[in-house]
Chain A
Amino acid sequence: MEFRSSSGHTMGVELELQIMNARDYNLARDAADLIGLLERSGHPGAIKPEITESMVELNSSIHATHATLLAELENLRDAVARAAERLNLRIAGGGSHPFHEWSERRIYPTERFKHLLELYGYLAKQFTIFGQHVHLGCPDGDSAVYLTHALARYVPHFIALSASSPFQQGADTAYCSSRLNTVSAFPLSGCMPFVHSWGEFLGYFEKMRGYGIVESMKDFYWDVRPKPEYGTVEIRVFDTPLTVGRAAALAAYAQALARRLLAERPHPPSREVYMLYGYNRFQACRYGLEAVIVDAYRGCPVSLREDILETLEVLAPHAAELGSGAVLEGIAAGVSAGESDAAWLRRVHRERGSLNDVARLQSERWMGRLDAGPEAAAERSRAG
């Protein structure tokens, strides 16, 4: 397994999206028809199937800047939204559907997905949760191993900044990101073992393959994992945000962070980080920006919100180099104001009193339809 070298500081995004019906905004199961229609209407490969028929995955190409990434994501979003409307479907972001029942989900009929159902039973259907994966280009395998370890400290940031799954199965979970609890149930979830080089990593991988535990890197559901065939490190803890704008901004944050970590190597990989990893991850899932995490390097509790704001400051010169200075400032402003997708969803629920309305507005927001129609004015005045 060779690590394909990527030119530095590139990024790519995968977004898992929800397909809803237009009646009660429960999950629909039209992934195959939606993909088929996009193939026909000149956007082949824009979206791919995911484990259940209620999900699709949208993939960007490789980008060096936030601006081009955002442009492509918006373009793809418009194509998917148009196709969905022809089938009277709605597409939404958000890490979880607020009220679908997992037992009603159906597995997308490919060999791999059928095998996963066979293997994981109900977990396969419960895996109808929606994440954003960000790929960060790495020059070689050793840097990928370093970056994977270095990013572990920032996993709570990614969780809190993207958290958008407060509701599951018709109830408020009290978490900002409930989605990651579902991921944790899988036996091969968690973190990459504490290896120090690509060679050492290969040794571990071959051993696991030798035991018959995995066949490929795909079988590891780690929060952050090297992806040798792409030449990237993949961050998988983001909930899919409610808009592609937010998705692109989060990718830009990860890009600037990776640039700094690879260029400055500020910290050596640390076992301490992994000792505190589970606790910090839980804090971020549960409380979002309000979480208090323990910084392994400083050895003391810190407010997650403050930690993110400090990091954004440190990253400013790198973001400027990458052309995403303004984007990171936007993130900082949102963090200072305590805004998050999870908070937006909870507010909609409070105001509307029904999770169907939450799902509906979630889809209107993702499809860019919230700026039209009678509810737009109210939303705008609130946002303003």
Chain B
Amino acid sequence: MTSLLPQYPFSPNPVLLFGLLLLLGLAGGELVRRVLRLPRIVGYVLIGMALGASGAKLLDARLLEDSWVFVEIALGLVLFELGRRLDLAWLARERWLLATGLAESALSFGFVYYALTWFGVSPLHAAVAAAIGVSTSPAVVMLVAQELNAEGQVTERAFALTAMNGVAALVLVTMLLAWIHHEYRAGWTVVVLHPVYLLGGSLLLGYCAFWLALALSRWLGKSAQGQFALVLALILAAMGLARMLELQVLIALLAFGVFARNLDERHDLMAVDVSRIGQVFFVVLFVVSGARLELAELAAGGALAAAYILARFAGKSLGVMAFTYFSGARAGAAGLLCLALTPMSGLALAMVQGTASLYPEFGAKLAAIVLSAVLILEIAGPLAVQFALRRAGEAAQ
């Protein structure tokens, strides 16, 4: 009979891990909010750091690997929601907004690239690191906006720009894979076909998910509950398929969101808010992000991280300051948008992880450059967004 009883040492399982991470994250978030009056996200990240590589080392590589699936689900939900914030009709009408998005993406890429090469980073590493820096963390913007119940032009435009730079970053990083393959002497077929497969395949997967969502929502009718479950099911299925087919999960989900927003001409899909259920996954996302970051790396790469952050901020700010006023926003909105675009977090980690899974050695070098900056922005980013949205008068009273 003894074999039916648990054996020591107990082996943890992912479900237990999820529960514990959620519990600890919630406690950390609440403490930080009550004691320091900072956004909860900061608490999630700090708990993660305390548990992870920089702290008690309770979350080791194996547990982090186990928890990565939750991170992916969280990012999938975030990117779908982000895709639905990309209103192409708005961009077509308000070209200055489109110009703002293109300019801040291009300039932040250029500035970071030059700053890094000036510091002696090889062009390829600099290019990939810069491409990752183009994106603003959608999860941070979304969570802070939700926590503040923020609503208004600065919030809306922060989402629109985050969506645009997310698309830009994912496309850039995928295209740069060609260069990485070339560097590592992969054959020409791989150099050309792999990025094409990733982009094309992920887009197609996103489109299929959208098409199914549309067909099934017509059948379901306008039931918020039904459509919520439908969208959630399709998000999870698309994520699983993307993994199975070695596609880019993030691109597929972002595309699903963009199609859902822009191609649903008869308005069959309801605007169900999947990010609300995402809350619990977001907590785990930030705890795990925190756990992956190493304070030790910051000491080594501090100067580089500072250069990275400053160049990125300068590039984004220049693009935003140049065009925002012409795009109909009030005076003063541009400065606040610059702040709102600073966060980097899970999406950046996932992009580093994506390249590392192909070429571990390249990934390690890339991580050394990017992760110190992410570490700083994990803490500073939420504060910047919170300040921007409050100052804009868009937080709930």
Q: Are B94 and A354 in contact (CB under 8 A)?
A: no
> Which of A32, A86, A354 contacts B328, CB < 8 Å?
A86
> Which of A32, A88, A354 contacts B156, CB < 8 Å?
A88
Q: What residues on B are CB-neighbors of A87 within 8 Å?
A: 153, 156, 328-329
Q: What residues on A are CB-neighbors of B153 within 8 Å?
A: 30, 33, 87
Question: Could you say which of A85, A352, A354 has the most chain B C-beta atoms within 10 Å of its C-beta?
Answer: A354
Identity of the chain B residue whose Cβ is nearest the Cβ of A39 in the assembled complex: B330
How many Å lie between the Cα of A228 and that of B396 in the bound state? 39
How many Å lie between the Cα of A28 and that of B153 in the bound state? 10
Question: Could you say which of B85, B271, B327 has the most chain A C-beta atoms within 10 Å of its C-beta?
Answer: B271
Distance in angstroms from A241 CB to nearest chain B CB is 24
> Which of A33, A37, A109, A353 contacts B222, CB < 8 Å?
A353
How many Å lie between the Cα of A83 and that of B271 in the bound state? 24
Distance in angstroms from B95 CB to nearest chain A CB is 10
How many Å lie between the Cα of A36 and that of B329 in the bound state? 9
Q: Are A28 and B151 in contact (CB under 8 A)?
A: yes
How many Å lie between the Cα of A331 and that of B270 in the bound state? 36
Contact with B along A342-355 (1 / 0, CB 8 A): 00000000001110
Q: What residues on A are CB-neighbors of B327 within 8 Å?
A: 86
Contact with B along A8-38 (1 / 0, CB 8 A): 0000000000000111100011101100110
Question: Could you say which of B93, B153, B265 has the most chain A C-beta atoms within 10 Å of its C-beta?
Answer: B153
Q: Are B266 and A375 in contact (CB under 8 A)?
A: yes
The size bracket of the interface on A is 20 to 34
How many Å lie between the Cα of A83 and that of B93 in the bound state? 11
Q: Are A356 and B156 in contact (CB under 8 A)?
A: no
Q: Are A352 and B222 in contact (CB under 8 A)?
A: yes
How many Å lie between the Cα of A375 and that of B152 in the bound state? 29
How many Å lie between the Cα of A37 and that of B394 in the bound state? 17
- Contact of A24 with B267 at beta-carbon distance under 8 Å, contacts A86-B94, A106-B396, A353-B221 already known: no
Cβ of A210 under 8 Å from chain B: no
Cβ of B397 under 8 Å from chain A: yes
Q: Are A356 and B397 in contact (CB under 8 A)?
A: no
Q: For residues 325 through 358 of chain A, which have their beta carbon under 8 Å from a beta carbon of chain B? A: 352-354, 356-357
Distance in angstroms from B219 CB to nearest chain A CB is 13
Q: What residues on A are CB-neighbors of B94 within 8 Å?
A: 85-86, 88
Cβ of B90 under 8 Å from chain A: yes
Distance in angstroms from B228 CB to nearest chain A CB is 13
Q: For residues 348 through 375 of chain A, which have their beta carbon under 8 Å from a beta carbon of chain B? A: 352-354, 356-357, 360, 373-375
Q: What residues on B are CB-neighbors of A21 within 8 Å?
A: 151, 156
Q: Are A354 and B222 in contact (CB under 8 A)?
A: yes
> Which of A36, A37, A88, A360 contacts B267, CB < 8 Å?
A360
- Contact of A374 with B265 at beta-carbon distance under 8 Å, contacts A29-B151, A86-B93, A352-B222 already known: yes
Q: What residues on A are CB-neighbors of B93 within 8 Å?
A: 85-86
Q: Are B270 and A354 in contact (CB under 8 A)?
A: yes
Number of B residues near A (Cβ < 8 Å) is: 26
Q: What residues on B are CB-neighbors of A85 within 8 Å?
A: 90, 93-94
Contact with A along B358-397 (1 / 0, CB 8 A): 0000000000000000000000000000000000011011
Q: Are A357 and B396 in contact (CB under 8 A)?
A: no
Q: For residues 63 through 83 of chain A, which have their beta carbon under 8 Å from a beta carbon of chain B? A: 83
How many Å lie between the Cα of A144 and that of B67 in the bound state? 75
Q: Are B151 and A22 in contact (CB under 8 A)?
A: no
How many Å lie between the Cα of A85 and that of B151 in the bound state? 17
- Contact of A356 with B152 at beta-carbon distance under 8 Å, contacts A33-B329, A33-B330, A88-B87 already known: no
How many Å lie between the Cα of A299 and that of B34 in the bound state? 68
Distance in angstroms from B340 CB to nearest chain A CB is 16
- Contact of A357 with B328 at beta-carbon distance under 8 Å, contacts A22-B87, A86-B94 already known: no
Q: For residues 100 through 126 of chain A, which have their beta carbon under 8 Å from a beta carbon of chain B? A: 106, 109
How many Å lie between the Cα of A24 and that of B327 in the bound state? 23
How many Å lie between the Cα of A353 and that of B269 in the bound state? 12
Distance in angstroms from A46 CB to nearest chain B CB is 15
How many Å lie between the Cα of A29 and that of B87 in the bound state? 19
Q: Are B222 and A357 in contact (CB under 8 A)?
A: yes
How many Å lie between the Cα of A375 and that of B264 in the bound state? 12
Q: What residues on A are CB-neighbors of B397 within 8 Å?
A: 106
> Which of B90, B152, B330, B396 contacts A22, CB < 8 Å?
B90
Q: For residues 151 through 165 of chain B, which have their beta carbon under 8 Å from a beta carbon of chain A? A: 151-153, 156, 160
How many Å lie between the Cα of A196 and that of B328 in the bound state? 52
Distance in angstroms from B218 CB to nearest chain A CB is 11
Q: What residues on B are CB-neighbors of A374 within 8 Å?
A: 265-266
Identity of the chain A residue whose Cβ is nearest the Cβ of B330 in the assembled complex: A36
Q: Are B87 and A356 in contact (CB under 8 A)?
A: no
Distance in angstroms from B225 CB to nearest chain A CB is 13
How many Å lie between the Cα of A353 and that of B85 in the bound state? 24
Identity of the chain B residue whose Cβ is nearest the Cβ of A29 in the assembled complex: B151
Q: What residues on A are CB-neighbors of B222 within 8 Å?
A: 352-354, 357
Q: Are B328 and A37 in contact (CB under 8 A)?
A: yes
> Which of A30, A88, A109, A373 contacts B90, CB < 8 Å?
A88
Distance in angstroms from A359 CB to nearest chain B CB is 11
How many Å lie between the Cα of A87 and that of B330 in the bound state? 10
- Contact of A30 with B328 at beta-carbon distance under 8 Å, contacts A86-B94, A360-B267 already known: no
Q: For residues 29 through 55 of chain A, which have their beta carbon under 8 Å from a beta carbon of chain B? A: 29-30, 32-33, 36-37
> Which of B266, B271, B330 contacts A23, CB < 8 Å?
B271
Q: What residues on B are CB-neighbors of A36 within 8 Å?
A: 330
A to B CB contacts below 8 Å, 14 in the list: A24-B270, A29-B394, A30-B152, A32-B330, A37-B330, A85-B94, A86-B94, A86-B327, A87-B153, A87-B156, A87-B329, A88-B156, A109-B393, A360-B267
Chain A residues within CB distance 8 Å of chain B: 21-24, 28-30, 32-33, 36-37, 83, 85-88, 106, 109, 352-354, 356-357, 360, 373-375
- Apart from A85-B90, A353-B221: 14 A-B pairs, beta carbons within 8 A: A24-B270, A28-B152, A29-B151, A29-B394, A33-B329, A36-B330, A87-B153, A88-B90, A88-B156, A356-B271, A357-B267, A373-B265, A374-B265, A375-B266
